[in-house]
Amino acid sequence: MGGKLHPDVLKRYVFGRVGVRDSSVVVGPGVGEDAAIIDVGGDRVIVVHSDPITGAVEHLGWLAVHIASNDIAVRGVRPRWLLPVLFLHENAGEDVVDLITRQIDEAAKEIGAMVVGGHSEFTPGLARPLISVTAIGLGERGRYVTSSGALADDLVIMTKTVGVEGTAILATDFKDVLLKHGVPVDVIERGRGFLKMVSVLREALALAEAGLATAMHDPTEGGLIGGVVEIAYASNKTIEIWEDRIPIAEETATICKALAIDPLKLISSGVLIATIPRHSVEKALKTLEKQGIRASIIGKVAEFSGHYTILHRKNGSIEKFEEPYIKDELSSIWEKAQEIDKP
């Protein structure tokens, strides 16, 4: 089984086992929180986060930098320092190292960050290379954003279209499968191009610098629904969203239909979810428009009513989510692929 540990497991075995409690830790481990925030004095905070990439192959290094950096950006802080840890399968040659490190270098230059350390090794038993990146940023005390700040009567906005990262990964790493399912070559090629949209740096920093967002989140595993549920859980609120308000690109819709998967549960790095006070929503949309970024109002925040998220489907049905855990559709696709490959 792939994907994140269930929140119940995290509560039992992870969140309570953090060593010596440190009063300078403003935000520590928690479901839905993107990055730790540490007060280092002098009106400064360090924001730090580690994230692995296990569901992609071809653009591993480039994705790893951007995905980890997104979790710094949604705090309203610019990522500055990176530490990648690279796990190579035993037969990997120098060409693999060359490719991945070139991608890391390219992505780091794009966001203005520096690789300051890390680790690399050959790891027995791996079928493909894996990577984890720690990203670090330096912010101002009192000017950061958390996932837990959503307020009742806020509106929920999202940028771009649902399933950005998942579309890029499926179009890249599952091209042959998609062709067998009748997905046109041009749709697949356009889907591969979605990779260049996985950063939320510009939109997250624009909203934070304008002081417009009460909460922001980067929806990774579990997709858009997973991200919304995690904000609701962290904020102890109920968030209501409407499927017909959620923009979906033709490429994503076609690929998801061919594979019979739900695009709302497909890994969605590149999408920013933000809760905005109702009176500030128009300003937020205009702020993003100036950045050339499309944004949509998809829902609203209410006081907790027993469900963290209520989803109104296009067909009139209603789905209610009572726990902050959504299995990602990409992990299901990988599991099916591994099952087929078994001798």
Distances (CA, A) of 96 to 100, 102, 204: 6, 10, 32
Q: CB of 71 within 8 A of CB of 218?
A: yes
Q: CB of 279 within 8 A of CB of 177?
A: no
What is the Cα–Cα distance from 253 to 197, expressed in whole angstroms?
Answer: 17
Distance in Å from the first CA to the final CA of the chain: 19
Q: How many CB atoms lie within 10 A of CB 340?
A: 8
What CATH topology corresponds to 21-140?
A: 60s Ribosomal Protein L30; Chain: A; (3.30.1330)
Characterise 153 by phi-psi region: left (phi > 0), alpha (psi -120 to 50), beta (else). Answer: left
Beta-strand runs (E) in 94-196: 114-115, 119-122, 130-140, 155-159
* Sequence spans of domains, the chain: 21-140, 155-341
Q: Which residues have a Cβ under 8 Å from the Cβ of 320 and sit 6 or more positions away?
A: 307, 309, 310, 311
For residue 335, which amino acid is it? E
Q: CB of 73 within 8 A of CB of 200?
A: yes
Per-residue pLDDT of the chain (343 residues; tens, 9 = 90+): 467 888 899 999 999 999 999 999 999 998 888 799 999 999 999 999 999 987 677 889 999 999 999 999 999 999 999 999 999 999 899 999 999 999 999 999 999 999 999 999 999 999 889 999 999 999 999 899 999 999 999 999 999 999 999 999 999 989 999 999 999 999 999 999 999 999 999 999 999 999 999 999 999 989 999 999 999 999 999 999 999 999 999 999 999 999 999 999 999 999 999 999 999 999 999 999 999 999 999 999 999 999 999 999 999 999 999 998 899 999 888 777 655 444 4
By residue count, the chain amounts to 343
Say if domain 155-341 classifies as CATH 3.90.650.10: yes
What is the Cα–Cα distance from 21 to 13, expressed in whole angstroms?
Answer: 16
Q: Which residues have a Cβ under 8 Å from the Cβ of 30 and sit 6 or more positions away?
A: 15, 148, 234
State which H helix or E strand residue 14 sits in. none
**327: its two tokens:** 């299995």
**250: its two tokens:** 């033709």
What is the Cα–Cα distance from 328 to 313, expressed in whole angstroms?
Answer: 18
pTM summary value: 0.92
Residue-level pLDDT at 343 = 41
- φ, ψ at 296 (rounded to 5°): -135, 145
